[in-house]
């Protein structure tokens, strides 16, 4: 329920902007927060699947981040 309140407010899209922050800790926190958007329950709607796909793609893009700490968080949340 809280996840969809965040989706309605475009929280995941706001977090995408933080993935380009200069500070690695900020990028790590944004990655972790985005990881909470991904849900693997059954009986999902097409919209839920699309949001999860978009978030997953953003997480995958961070696997080439120059910071080892960010890459490690990327592995944890994926």
**What is the domain-level CATH number for residue 23?**
1.25.10
What mean pLDDT do residues 15-27 have? 96
Beta-carbon contacts of 15 under 8 Å, excluding residues fewer than 6 positions away, are 30, 33, 34
Q: How far is CA 8 from CA 32, 48, 55, 71, 75, in A?
A: 19, 12, 14, 28, 27
Q: Tell me which residue range forms the domain holding 30.
A: 2-77
The domain total for the chain is: 1
pLDDT digits (tens, 9 = 90+) for 22-65: 999 999 999 999 888 777 666 678 887 888 888 889 999 899 99
């Amino acid at each position: 329920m809280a996840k969809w309140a965040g989706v309605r407010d475009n929280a995941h899209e706001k977090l995408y902007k933080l993935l380009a922050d200069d500070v690695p800790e900020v990028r790590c926190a944004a990655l972790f927060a985005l990881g909470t958007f991904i849900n693997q329950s059954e009986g999902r709607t097409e919209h839920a699947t699309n949001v999860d796909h978009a978030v997953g793609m953003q997480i995958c893009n961070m696997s080439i981040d120059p910071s080892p700490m960010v890459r490690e968080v990327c592995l944890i949340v994926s």
